[in-house]
Structure 1
Amino acid sequence: MGHREDLLEGAERCLLRKGFARTTARDIVKESGTNLASIGYHYGSKDALLAQAYVSLVERMGDAFDGGGGEALPGEPGSLERFRAVWSNIIGTMREPGSIWRLSMEIVVMGDQLPEVRDHLARAQREAGRGLVPLLMGGREDDVPDETADTLGMFYVTLMTGLIAQWTFDPKTAPGADQLAEGLRQVIEGVTKS
């Protein structure tokens, strides 16, 4: 493994232990066994490296969204049963001790102080939405058009961001998948009456 990969893995470990704000370039160097110059050479800055490390952690978390076991998700694509199953899996990742989702809240709160991280992650949101669409609606991520990523995908990202905030703030009162599915059912019922 080269310095680039070592830095990324070291930054991931630092993020999980210390978060964005408290992780220093020296922490990453110590954790990765590299040197300070490597950060600038491979990533441009400490913040860009931390942003990439966060995206890498989230991408690996995506396997848990579909259950991670390789089995097919229950329910037909687009059904309330599928919606409930996917959100149940996502919420399961929020319940884990040391959940990476707390880092998301740190970004929201400190966004102005971490502009390079915020900008990098803002660009990644569209792709996050593009990844959620096939889980819930079926199909392949590569086939999700930009318009769908920018509408339905962003709807799912917005729902996820709200869930992260609620689960970070007060897990005892945060909604579960059954509550979300029932809320969606009520929305559908309301708009179809009009």
Structure 2
Amino acid sequence: MGHREDLLEGAKRCLLAKGFLRTTARDIVKESGTNLASIGYHYGSKDALLVQAYVELIESVGDTFEPGWGAEREAAAPAGSLQRFRQVWDGIIRSVPQSRAIWLLSFELLFQGDRLPEVRKLLAEAQVEGRKGILTMFNGVPERELDEESVDTEGRLYQTLLNGLMVQWLFDPDSATTADQLTEGLRRVLDAASGN
């Protein structure tokens, strides 16, 4: 690996160990075996590097959300079905123990965003990509083929559900909503909306 990749990997380890606010440029340099000048040369700033590291950490968690992930691998249900809805949420919930540190980091950034306006701006831009990524898991449409309106409506719905679900699972896993409960709730809402 070159300095750019070493910095990114070192920044990921620092984020998971210390969080965003407590990670210094010197921490990253020490963890990556590079030098301070490398951060500016390759990423422009420490914050830009940490944002890139955070985005890659979140993307790696998102890769585990696919239906059929894990030991209980089942065939992916048809896109848009209630079964697919349950499968995706089940995959997300199963990933929580392995990704807990990343989700805690997400909430650190959420609550400290006012102190880091440049970081907040970069992360706000990354949210659009997050909406695309989660939407495609439910509707089966490749990200490059998603229309803007679907991303801005359905993608926002799934992103909102994801954030709320993560709050529950981080706060108290024993009382957190399950994939079956979430799916049954949606089924009831759909039945009520259609007059059944």
The TM-score bracket by the shorter chain reads over 0.9
Q: Which amino acid aligns with 2:34?
A: T
Which ranges of structure 2 fall in alignment gaps of 5 or more residues?
none
C-alpha deviation, 1:114, in angstroms: 2.0
Q: 1:62 maps to which residue?
A: 62
Distance 1:178 1:72, change over 3 A: closer
Within-5 A mapping of 1:129-140: 129-140=131-142
Shift of 1:83: 0.5
Q: Which residue of 2 aligns with 1:34?
A: 34
Alignment match, 1:45: 45
Deviation at 1:46, TM superposition (A): 1.1
Could you tell me which runs of 5 or more consecutive residues in structure 1 were left unpaired when the two chains were aligned: none
Q: TM-score, normalised by structure 1?
A: 0.92
TM superposition score normalised by structure 2: 0.92
Specify the alignment match of 1:91 in structure 2.
Answer: 93
More moved, 167-176 vs 13-22: 167-176
What SS does the corresponding residue of 2:21 show, helix, strand or coil? helix
Letter in 2 for 1:95: P
How far has the Cα of 1:98 moved from its partner? Answer: 4.4
The Cα shift of 1:178 comes to 0.8
Q: Are the aligned partners of 2:65 and 2:88 in contact in 1 as well (CA < 8 Å)?
A: yes
Distance 1:45 1:73, change over 3 A: farther
Do the aligned residues in 1 keep the contact of 2:61 with 2:99 (CA within 8 Å)?
no
User: Once superposed, what is the RMSD of the aligned Cα atoms?
Assistant: 1.7
Q: Which runs of 4+ in 1 moved over 6 A?
A: none
> Offset of 1:73 from its aligned partner?
4.6
1:75 maps to what in 2? 77
